[in-house]
A = this chain, B = another copy of it.
Amino acid sequence: MVETPENDVTKSAPKRTPSTGSARPQRRHRPREETRALLLAAAADLAIERTRPDAPSPHNPLADVRMSDVLVEVNRRDPDGRKLTTGAFYQIWPDQAAFQLELMRHVMDKIATPGARQIEALAFRLVADGEAPEEIFRQISEADFRWTSASPELFLALGLGALAPVDMVRDAQAGANERYIEETDHLLSVLLRYARRRLRPDRTMEDLIWAVEALSVGYLLRSRSHPDIPDRTDDSGWSALASAYYGVIQAFSEPIPDEREDSDPPS
Contact = CB atoms under 8 A, between A and B. Distances in A.
Given A32-B91, A39-B89, A42-B74, A152 B48 contact: yes
A118 B38 CA distance: 26
A27 B82 contact: yes
B94 A244 contact: no
Stoichiometry (number of copies): 2
Interface residues of A, number: 102
Interface string A52-81: 000000010110010001110110011001
Nearest to A240: B207
Nearest to A236: B202
A98 interface: yes
Nearest to A73: B42
A222 B232 contact: no
A159 interface: yes
Contact of A92 (B32, B44, B88, B106): B32
A194 interface: no
B210 A38 contact: no
Contact of A232 (B155, B207, B218): B207
A47 B156 contact: yes
A6 to B, nearest CB: 11
B163 A84 contact: no
A155 to B, nearest CB: 5
Contacts of A247: 247-252
- For A41, A44, A69, A173, which residue has the most chain B Cβ atoms within 10 angstroms? A44
A197 interface: no
A228 to B, nearest CB: 10
Given A48-B156, A163-B163, A244-B248, 18 more contacts: A2-B93, A2-B94, A39-B71, A40-B103, A43-B73, A44-B103, A46-B70, A47-B103, A59-B61, A155-B163, A161-B224, A162-B224, A210-B222, A210-B240, A214-B217, A217-B218, A217-B222, A250-B251
27 contacts: A2-B92, A2-B93, A27-B81, A29-B82, A39-B84, A39-B89, A40-B106, A42-B73, A43-B70, A44-B107, A46-B70, A50-B61, A61-B61, A155-B163, A162-B221, A169-B224, A170-B226, A210-B226, A210-B230, A211-B240, A214-B219, A214-B222, A215-B215, A218-B219, A243-B251, A244-B252, A248-B248
